[in-house]
Structure formats: structure tokens, C-alpha cells
Chain A
Amino acid sequence: MSTATVHDQPPTSTKRQRILAPPVTGQEIVLLGVIAVLWLVLGFTTPAFMSAGSIQPLLGAVAPIALIGIGMTVVIITGGIDVSVGASIAVCSVIIAKLVLVQAGLGLPVAVITGIVVGGLLGLLNGALIAYGRVHAIIITFGTANLFLWLSLKLFNSSTVNNIPDTLAALGNGSAGRTAGVPNSFLITVVLVALAWVYLRHTAGGRHFYAIGGDQLAAQLAGVKVRQRILIAYLLTGLLVGLASCIVVAQGSNLGQNVGTGKELAVIAAVVIGGTSITGGRGSVLGTVLGALLVQTVASGVTQLGWRSELSDLFVGVAIIIAVGADLIRERARRKR
């Protein structure tokens, strides 16, 4: 079995040959290298890029994107996508800011739990529709995105949420939001990414997501509870959106109705740049964090170098195209083997 060429083998043995991708994929090493080079270059060419006052807010800005990116990575690994996360952020943050913090004046635990529960419910709705409705995820989540947007606009009720108390300062970008100099929001992200990385890589449940993305029918025949797994992927994304929304609320004292706008694209960009295949079956949460880190590094770098703001859009666009291109080339190479 091991000596035969791959394409003559039934799918199961192909799987066995590369049951685990290397712990750090090629794309992740490239990303790490690019980020390291950028940080070094920016450290030398700008007055303070490598200072705490620059790196701390950068990590704080990465946190919500990377957190949601964990869920989005799992969703994209199953061959799906969730374009409703921006609107979900709007729903969760307005509930946290307006109802929990401003009107009820409740504390951080209640805010975080509320955020996670609300996010979870939204994710559950997405998951149920996609797993049992059997319509492509982009259509379903596009629909729910509009639904969630409507819901958030109803909750905002034509006014900005003002005077949000600093109950969530521990998750914010101020000095109260740091432990040993590192933003708490980023520490939470690192812990959750580590857990997700181990889960996806080393447990049967985690591998099932890859199996579904690789070949849904084969996975089903192999005994994977496909619908249940797909449901969990979107539920997980929703839960993380809830948590990320707490960080978003913690970042200012006002909340306007455009909160979350376009964030689905920022998250998907981080996932794709991180090397997760948009067609499903391959990817890792480590890459997603690095992708988010690269995007924010580019944005901050462009500003600190005094370059024109639109250049960061150009660089991010190029990074996405290179990442997708690299993925397609790898895919083709794999087929030829």
C-alpha cells in the first residue's frame, strides 16, 4: 500500500499517507518570515514601530479579527463560509453596550456571557439553516447577515450608544486592558487559538471538519456526523463573535450603527492569507492569526511610514491574491502526485 502511487489508491489510504499536515505549514513559515522582516524593517525605518506603545495597540486590533478567525477557519475548512459575522458583531455589541452596560449597568461577567450567548444563538441559526437546509452557506449567511443587520438597527433605534461605562476596560486598549504589558484581548486570543489548534489537529472531532471539507459524501460514509459537525462550526463562530464583540465594545465609549461593517471581509482575508484553502479541507488557525497580524502590520506600517492610506488596501489585496494563488498551485501539485 505504501509503495503504490497515490492516485491509484482508494481515498482512505490517501488520507492515511498525509493524515496530519506538518505542525507548521509552509505558508505559515513564509508568513512568519514576512512579518518578522516587516517588523524589523519598520523598526529601523520608523521612530517607534517596535515600541510597546505601537505593538500593544497593534495586538489589540488583531485580537477581535483573529478570534472570529478561529471560527471562520473551521467553517472554511468544512467548505463553507460565513459572511454574516459583521452583522453579528453589530447585534452582539449593541446588546452588550446598550442593554447590559448602559441601561442595566451590569458587570463584565454578565456582559461577556450575554455576548457569547447572543452570538451563539446567531451562529446556531446559521448552522441549523446550512446543515439542514442544504443550501450553500454563502446564500444562507448572506440572508442572515441582512436579517441581523435589521435586528441591530432596530436595537440601535436611530441613536448612537453614548457614555458606555468602562466596565469592560480589562478587554480594552488602555492600560487597564494589559497583563504584563500584553493586551488581555490578545492573550485570550492566543489561548483560544492554541486550544483550537490542538483540537483541530489531534482529536477525531477536529479531523472530521477536514474530512467534510475534503469530501462531504466520503466523510458521511465514513461515519462522520456531517450535519452535526457543520452546525458546530457555525455555532463556534457565533460564540467567538460574541466574545470578540466584548472587545469591540471595550475599545471606545460610543457605539454607532456601522459597528462591524466590513469585518466579515477582514476576517475572511485573515483566514485566506493564513493559508486555509477557500475550497475546504485544509487550513489552520495558526495561519489565520498570522494572516490577521500581517494585515494589521501592513496597515500600521503604512501609517507610520507616512505613506498614503490606500496603499494598505493595495498590499492586503496583493497578499490575498498571492495566498490564493499559492493555494491553487499547491492543490494542483497535490493532484499531480
Chain B
Amino acid sequence: MRSKLRLTAAVTVALAVAATGAACTKKNDTTAAGGGDAAGGTAKVAFVPKLQGIPYFEAMNDGGKEAAGELGVDWLYQGPTSADAAAQADIVNSFIQQKVDALFIAPNDPDSMAPLIKQGIDAGVKVGTSDTDAPNSARELMVLMASAEGIGKANTEALMKAMGGKGEYAIVSCGETASQLNQWIDEIKKYQTANYPDAKLVDTVYAGEDVAKATQMATDLMNAHPNLKGFVGVCSTAGPGVAQAVENAGKIGKVFTVGMGTPNDMKKYLQSGSASAGVLWDAKALGCLTAWAGLQLAQDKQFQASQPVEACGLDKVTYDSSTKVLLMGDPLTFTKDTVGNYNF
């Protein structure tokens, strides 16, 4: 009986290995086929989001597709199903193997992506980042939605408007090592200290990408600081999370929140008053700009400091040649009156 058991186990493991192998091969086939269709004269621009399937990146994909139709670019979009650096690296690798013309990445782990970016450039692919930068890499362009200063200012202004310019507030973020989020937090602090000296940041906590945890931590912060008057939720799960906490505690009108959630996620909270404003940017326009920038790179065009864009509903964007950053503009601040204008 024991040997039978062992046999069963061995067979199962073998099957599992075979199945995994098959799955991998299949996945690569699909991407290869996706690239194969593109054989033609048009530039192939690929974008690898942090993860596929969340509304924010899907909106970027919509924008990219739209630009593709307008500009005659072949737009390829594929990301991992979870924000996993290794799975993302596989996809980036497969796009490099396909020799796409331009490749944009929103890296989950900027530092571990750097060697792969180098590899892509060596293979003749124009590699850039979009949404999230890999500052210590050889990337040839960064498509940035809004400057950290702009985001810090927009969040602080929106919150201080609701709080009356003074009082205690706290920040709820996602990952403690997310350098972009930390940069925004620094800018919020800086802007608030300079412009609203009567306000005070009492704590910054990290809830991971978990709405329920953000809610619970915001609740704990309200208990720890009875005079707390405001929250900034600086990532897409923390924005709705802090608003939910205010709603649960029945403190609408006493504690104010501003969140960086998507308009669809923030809508209900803006309407109930538990969130005063949302701060984000037009993800669709960012996707579109990414596709457009990819075409420019593929055609070896140089960017100008004030660069006109003939697509995406964008007038002009700015380019900083020392950092190679293409900046889309100021972030959007949306309230209950304007949240309906966006659909992502």
C-alpha cells in the first residue's frame, strides 16, 4: 500500500510538472503570436504594467489602444496577474525576445528591473518606464503623469481646504518600500510645513494593498489621536480605506479624507462626504502618451523642452533632458461634482 501511495505521489508530481511546463509554453506561445501579428511596417510599442486587470492599468491600456488607432502604432499590453517582480521580468524578457521597437515598464521592483532594461537596450529595443520609474537604470525615457511636488501639493491643498488649514492629520500608505509613494509623502510633508504651519502630521502608517487593513489602521489612528481631523490615503487601496473608516466611525464632517483612489473607487465616498476629494491623473491619457512617446522613440525623434503632442487630447507636455523625464502635467483633483467625468 505504501509503495502504491508513493507511486500515486510520483505520478501526480510528474503530472503537475508536466502541466506547469505546458502552461508556461502556452503562455509564451500566446505572447509570441501577439507579437507575430504585428509583423508589418508599424512600430511595435509594448507596455508592461505592474499588474494586469486592475482598472487603473486597464485605463492606461485603453488609452494606449486609442493612440495606436490614431497613430498607427501596434500596441502590445501584458502584465502579471499579481504585482510580482519575477513574473513581470518574464514578460519583459519575452517582449525583448520579440524585439519590439519600444518597451515601457511600470516596474514592481525598479532596482531588480535595471539589468533587464540594460539587456533590452543592448538588444536594440528602446526601453522606458511609465507610471513608475526605475531611476537607477539605463532607461531612455520616463513617462511621468505628474511630478511628486504636484501630487504633494494637490493632496495637501485638497485636505487643508476641507480641514480649514489647521489640525492634526495622518497618512495611510501601501508598501513601506514603495519609493514613489514615499516621495509623495515627503512632498506632502514639505508642502504642508511650508504653507500650513498650523497643521500637524501625527503619523504615517503602511497597510499594504489591503483596503480592509487600511480601514482598520485608520480607525486605530482615530482612536490614538482623538483630535485627528484628516487623512490622506496615498495609494489606490488606502484612499477608499480611510474614507470607509470615517464612515464606520460616524465621523463624517468631523474627520476629512483625501485619497488617491480611482474615481470609480472614490465615487461613493465622495458622495457620502466621507471623502472630500480624490487626487489622481487621467490614466487613459497617460497610456495614450506612453504609446505616443514609444512611437517617437522608435522613430529616433528628439523631445523638446516644451513638447507638443498631436494626440491624446494633450496639448503640450514638458521634457527634462537631464533626467529624461516626459511630464504629462498637473494631477487632477476631483470632488463629488466632477467624479462622474471619469470612468476608471
Contacts and interface: CB of A to CB of B under 8 A. Distances in A.
Q: A and B from one assembly?
A: yes
Given A143-B16, A258-B209, A261-B210, A54 B220 contact: yes
Contacts of B207: 309
22 contacts: A46-B223, A46-B224, A58-B216, A61-B216, A134-B8, A135-B8, A158-B53, A159-B58, A160-B55, A163-B267, A172-B248, A173-B248, A251-B211, A254-B211, A256-B54, A256-B237, A258-B82, A300-B220, A303-B221, A306-B203, A306-B224, A309-B207
Nearest to A134: B8
Contacts of B176: 309-310
Interface residues on A, range: 35 or more
B89 to A, nearest CB: 19
Given A53-B222, A135-B9, A158 B212 contact: no
A128 B179 CA distance: 45
B335 interface: no
Interface of A: 46-49, 51, 53-54, 57-58, 61, 133-136, 139, 143, 149, 153, 156, 158-160, 162-163, 172-175, 248, 251-254, 256-258, 261-262, 296, 299-300, 303-306, 309-310
A47 B223 CA distance: 7
B223 A48 contact: yes
Nearest to B221: A303
Contacts of A254: 211, 240, 264-265, 268
Given A251-B212, A251-B244, A54 B219 contact: yes
B215 interface: yes
Instruction: Classify the secondary structure of B's interface with A.
Output: helix
Interface of B: 5, 8-9, 12-13, 16, 52-55, 58, 81-82, 176, 202-203, 205-207, 209-212, 215-217, 219-226, 237, 240-241, 244, 247-250, 262, 264-265, 267-269
Given A134-B8, A309-B206, A299 B224 contact: no
B216 A175 contact: no
A251 B215 contact: yes
Contacts of A51: 223
A47 B142 CA distance: 46
Which 7 pairs show the lowest CB-CB distances between chains A and B? A303-B220, A48-B223, A304-B224, A54-B223, A309-B206, A158-B53, A253-B268
A216 to B, nearest CB: 11
Contacts of B211: 251-252, 254, 256
Contacts of A173: 215, 248
A303 B52 contact: no
A163 B222 contact: no
Contacts of B58: 158-159
B224 A53 contact: no
A309 B268 CA distance: 28
Task: Indicate the member of A47, A49, A57, A149 with the most B CB atoms within 10 Å.
Answer: A57
Contacts of A160: 54-55, 262, 264-265
A46 B226 CA distance: 10
Contacts, number: 127
A300 B209 CA distance: 17
Task: Indicate the member of A158, A175, A251, A252 with the most B CB atoms within 10 Å.
Answer: A252
Contacts of B54: 158, 160, 256-257
Nearest to B61: A158
A252 B266 CA distance: 11
Contacts of B217: 299, 303, 309
Nearest to B219: A57
A170 to B, nearest CB: 14
A253 B269 contact: yes
Nearest to A154: B53
Contacts of A257: 53-54
A134 B209 contact: no
A9 to B, nearest CB: 25
A49 B223 contact: yes
Contacts of B82: 258, 261
B183 to A, nearest CB: 18
B206 A310 contact: yes
Contacts of A134: 5, 8-9
Contacts of B248: 57, 172-174
A156 B54 CA distance: 9
Contacts of A135: 8-9, 12
Given A159-B55, A251-B244, A309-B205, 8 more contacts: A48-B223, A61-B216, A135-B12, A162-B267, A163-B267, A254-B264, A256-B54, A257-B54
Contact of B223 (A136, A251, A304): A304
B242 to A, nearest CB: 11
Contacts of A248: 212
Contact of B244 (A163, A252, A303): A252
A262 B209 CA distance: 11
A13 B233 CA distance: 60
A61 B212 CA distance: 8
B213 to A, nearest CB: 8
Contact of B212 (A48, A54, A153, A252): A252
B247 A304 contact: no
Nearest to A136: B9
